[in-house]
Amino acid sequence: MNHIPSSSGWKTFYRIWGGQTVSLVGTAMSRFALMIWAYQQTGSATTLALLGFFNFGAIVLCSSFSGVVVDRIKRKTVMLLSDTCAALMSAVILYLFTVGRLQIWHLYLLETMTGMFEAFQYPAYQAAITLLVPRSDFTRTSSLNSLSESSARVIAPVLAGLLLPAAGLKVVLMLDLLTFFAAFGTLLVSHIPQPEQADGSDLKENQVSLRAGWDFIRTRPGLICLIFLFALINLFAGLTYYSIISPMILARSGNSTLALSWVEASLGLGGIAGGLILSAWGGPKQKVKGLLLITGLSFIMGDGTFAFGRSLPFWVLAGFISNLSVPFISGPNQAIWQAKTPPELQGRVFALRGMLQMITIPIGYLAAGPLADHVFEPGMAAGGSLAGIFGWISGIGPGAGMGLMFACTALGGLVTSIVGYSMKPLRYVEQDLPDAV
């Protein structure tokens, strides 16, 4: 019999969630500060896009086997080791900066190693939640996790924006290391149950293989369609939302870190608002139809406003709208997977799902920088080959080409949501697939 969540499970979840939230703020602060430092060194959109490429690329590669580890080792142990290794990498970056030897390639290595650790930490955390809270609250916990990420996105750029000119990059990196102890300490004192394994040597042998996760997914067309949907969403997000939003704002604002801080904060505030609403509401009863509708609206209103907006108020509005919708897209998706997947398989299934869904993000990152620097930005410069045709959308000059890229992803996201609704296995996945016992 699998572990049944008790009343103390929520207390454990809140304790771990609080520690992870504090750590996320520190990590987001250092990433924001290091991104500003990297852009000041190169002035290239490709540089910032490559930071994301190495991070997500490592996540995708390691997710091919991290789920097996999560299901074989205590999930608490996996999370503790992942957080510790990430903190050690941050300490190395702090040392290199202190002695004046920090280079761009060091940041690529940092993002690669951090992505590797995240590939283990994320499925372990999500699988642990399943055994801590009741099934009916899966959407609520997903919304709280979105709230945590969004809170970090609000607080981190504001704090980093204030600390960078006043105290410098070194202080920001030191604060990141201090926040690690909050995550490590709350995990250390928390009890995270393990699922009981079924009897039978053949089943046990199957459960320790990655093949078990793939066999579970491939025989369920509705889950395959969900992966396909989110792979497309992530491709468009990788092309713009993740990769070029920062260089676009910096290019269009005269390298104003304050303007970028406001936009980053608006993204976080939108996510907080969405997370609070979803947490209080619990989500739509028809999860798939709800997330498809929100996906289409999010791309048109969020990416579309980034495309047409040419001043800070428009960018702030676009950021708020974009992240307001994220919990309503990711929360129901996560709840479906948690409800349909047996706890003893969740490490492998969640890791494999993450790998397949996110494999398009590094592709988007890798394409975004060269497209921005060598195609769209030159094309939308004064007298450029694209300016005469598309200048009415995003204007001309620095940042206009990246604005046009947002227009392309706005249209692509809308088409994706329409195509998703036309896929019957996706539309009825909640009804067609029984909940896991």
Whole-angstrom distance, CA of residue 265 vs CA of residue 279? 21
Q: Please calculate the CA angle 130-294-253 and round it to the nearest 5 degrees.
A: 105
Q: So what's the pLDDT on residue 437?
A: 66
Q: So what's the pLDDT on residue 386?
A: 96
The lowest-confidence range among 231-245, 342-356, 373-387 is 342-356
What percentage of the chain's residues is helix, strand, coil (to nearest 5)? 85, 0, 15
Contact 124, 78 (CB under 8 A): yes
pLDDT of 206 over the 50 cut: no
Whole-angstrom distance, CA of residue 211 vs CA of residue 71? 13
Contact 209, 126 (CB under 8 A): no
CA-nearest of 118, 143, 116 to 129 is 143
Question: What does the pLDDT look like over 260-307, one tens digit per residue?
Answer: 888 988 988 888 888 788 878 877 788 899 999 999 999 999 999 999
Question: What does the pLDDT look like over 11-35, one tens digit per residue?
Answer: 888 888 888 888 888 888 898 889 8
Q: So what's the pLDDT on residue 407?
A: 97
> Look-up: residue for tokens 């129901």?
332
pLDDT of 205 over the 50 cut: no
Angle of helix 138-167 versus helix 104-130 axis, rounded to 10: 150
Contact 78, 120 (CB under 8 A): yes
| Residue extents of the structural domains in the chain | 8-190+203-432
Whole-angstrom distance, CA of residue 80 vs CA of residue 190? 11
Instruction: Please give the residue that has the higher pLDDT: either 296 or 335.
Output: 296
Q: So what's the pLDDT on residue 202?
A: 41
Q: What is the mean pLDDT of residues 363-378?
A: 94
Angle of helix 346-358 versus helix 326-340 axis, rounded to 10: 140
Whole-angstrom distance, CA of residue 285 vs CA of residue 283? 7
pLDDT of 59 over the 80 cut: yes
- Phi then psi for residue 73, to 5 deg, are -110, 155
Going by the DSSP 8-state scheme, the letter that residue 375 receives in this structure is: I
Q: So what's the pLDDT on residue 209?
A: 60
Question: What does the pLDDT look like over 391-401, one tens digit per residue?
Answer: 999 999 999 99
Q: So what's the pLDDT on residue 7?
A: 55
Q: What is the DSSP string of 189-245?
A: T-----PPPPS-HHHHHHHTSHHHHHHHHHT-HHHHHHHHHHHHHHHHIIIIITTTH
Question: What does the pLDDT look like over 387-434, one tens digit per residue?
Answer: 999 999 999 999 999 999 999 999 999 999 999 999 999 999 988 888
Q: So what's the pLDDT on residue 195?
A: 67
Q: So what's the pLDDT on residue 197?
A: 54
Contact 135, 334 (CB under 8 A): no
Question: What does the pLDDT look like over 138-179, one tens digit per residue?
Answer: 777 877 877 787 778 778 888 887 888 778 889 989 998 888
Whole-angstrom distance, CA of residue 122 vs CA of residue 116? 11
Instruction: Please give the residue that has the higher pLDDT: either 297 or 347.
Output: 297
Q: What is the DSSP string of 402-420?
A: HHHHHHHHHHHHHHHHHHH
Tell me if residue 1 falls in helix, strand or coil.
coil
pLDDT of 5 over the 70 cut: no
Average pLDDT score, the chain: 86
Q: So what's the pLDDT on residue 67?
A: 73
Does domain 8-190+203-432 correspond to CATH entry 3.40.640.10?
Answer: no
Question: What does the pLDDT look like over 124-142, one tens digit per residue?
Answer: 887 788 778 777 777 778 7
Question: Structure tokens of 154?
Answer: 């609000």
